[in-house]
Structures are given as structure tokens and as C-alpha cells.
């Protein structure tokens, strides 16, 4: 039983890495550059593959979401987040959230057409929160999340995972 328990905790981060690696491998030089989020999204507000074109590093949010899709993001602030929480944004409008101590969750996300640097995330078919991109570059993603049910606002900072990572063993 303990062996199965440990295997479960290894599979979740590996699944996250595999998904991100698959995305990175499918992004090639023939993807055209996206001029804006409005052009890079379909009628539903879901990003299209054109949104994955290469970008110039910037600390200011831009209309190009390439860096958002090309990284696995680990929450570094607030410290109250589950240990080693990971976010993987896929260009097809899917968000994978997981951590070393929680099971994974998959949510749909869209871009707010009225405010192109705001992502809308749904849970169980209902709006859960919006996330305004405050900073996006090669190493940092800073979001201001507004939880819709409670109207609570919180800022989170995520750092790109640049090297191999394995969740630490849980205390016994």
C-alpha cells in the first residue's frame, strides 16, 4: 500500500512535466507570431496555437502569451500555498494545477476579450476566479487573482521551473 501511495505522488508531477514537454515539442519555428491576444484567440476567447509564437522578454504583461504556455510555473508566493504548487497553462485553454501534497485539477480558462491580460478560470462549469497578468517574462509570472464567489483578491508569484524537480518525501 505504501508503495502505491508513493507511486501516486510521483505520477502527478511526472504527468505535469510530460504535458509541458509535449507542448514544448509541438511548438516549432513555423508557428506565426501573434500580434495580439484578440487575434490569438478564437471566438470563444480560447487561445489558438498562433498565441504560442516567440516573444521578447518583458516584465510588463503583453498581448503575447507564449511564455505563459512554454513553462511550468511553481508558486513561490504566498507561502500559504500548498508546497510546490504547479500551474501549467496549455494553449488550448486548459489549466493543470497540482502540488506535492494535493491531487491534480484540470480547469478550462479563457481570455477576457475586454481586458486581454485577464484570464478567466472556471471550476465545475462556473466562473471561479479571474487572474490579471501583472508580470510575465522568462522566469516570473505574477498574477492578481480575484476569487469570484468571495470577491477576495490575492496576488501570487510563480517562478518558471527550469530544471529537474521531484517532490520531496512526505513526513511520516
Rounded Cα gap, residues 71 and 161, in angstroms: 7
pLDDT for 171 beyond 80: no
Q: What is the fold, at CATH topology level, of the domain defined by 2-160?
A: Lipocalin (2.40.128)
Phi, psi at residue 97, to the nearest 5°?
Answer: -120, 135
- Provide the β-strand partners of residue 87: 73, 97
**Domain coordinates of the chain in residue numbers?**
2-160
pLDDT, residue 45, reads 54
pLDDT tens sequence across 91-111? 999 999 999 988 999 999 999
Residue listed under C-alpha cell 497540482: 98
The burial class, CB within 10 Å (0-12 / 13-18 / 19+), for 29 is: exposed
Amino acid at each position: 500500500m505504501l508503495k502505491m501511495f508513493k507511486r501516486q505522488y510521483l505520477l502527478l508531477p511526472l504527468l505535469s512535466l510530460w504535458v509541458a514537454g509535449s507542448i514544448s515539442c509541438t511548438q516549432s519555428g513555423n508557428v506565426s507570431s501573434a500580434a495580439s491576444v484578440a487575434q490569438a484567440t478564437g471566438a470563444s476567447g480560447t487561445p489558438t496555437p498562433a498565441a504560442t509564437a516567440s516573444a521578447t522578454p518583458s516584465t510588463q504583461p503583453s498581448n503575447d502569451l507564449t511564455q505563459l504556455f512554454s513553462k511550468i510555473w511553481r508558486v513561490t508566493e504566498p507561502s500559504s500555498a500548498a508546497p510546490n504548487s504547479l500551474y501549467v497553462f496549455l494553449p488550448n485553454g486548459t489549466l493543470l494545477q497540482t502540488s506535492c501534497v494535493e491531487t491534480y485539477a484540470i480547469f478550462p480558462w479563457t481570455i477576457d476579450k475586454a481586458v486581454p491580460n485577464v484570464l478567466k478560470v472556471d471550476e465545475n462549469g462556473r466562473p471561479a476566479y479571474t487572474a490579471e497578468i501583472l508580470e510575465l517574462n522568462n522566469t516570473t509570472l505574477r498574477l492578481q487573482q480575484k476569487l469570484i464567489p468571495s470577491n477576495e483578491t490575492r496576488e501570487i508569484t510563480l517562478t518558471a521551473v527550469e530544471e529537474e524537480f521531484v517532490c520531496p518525501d512526505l513526513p511520516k
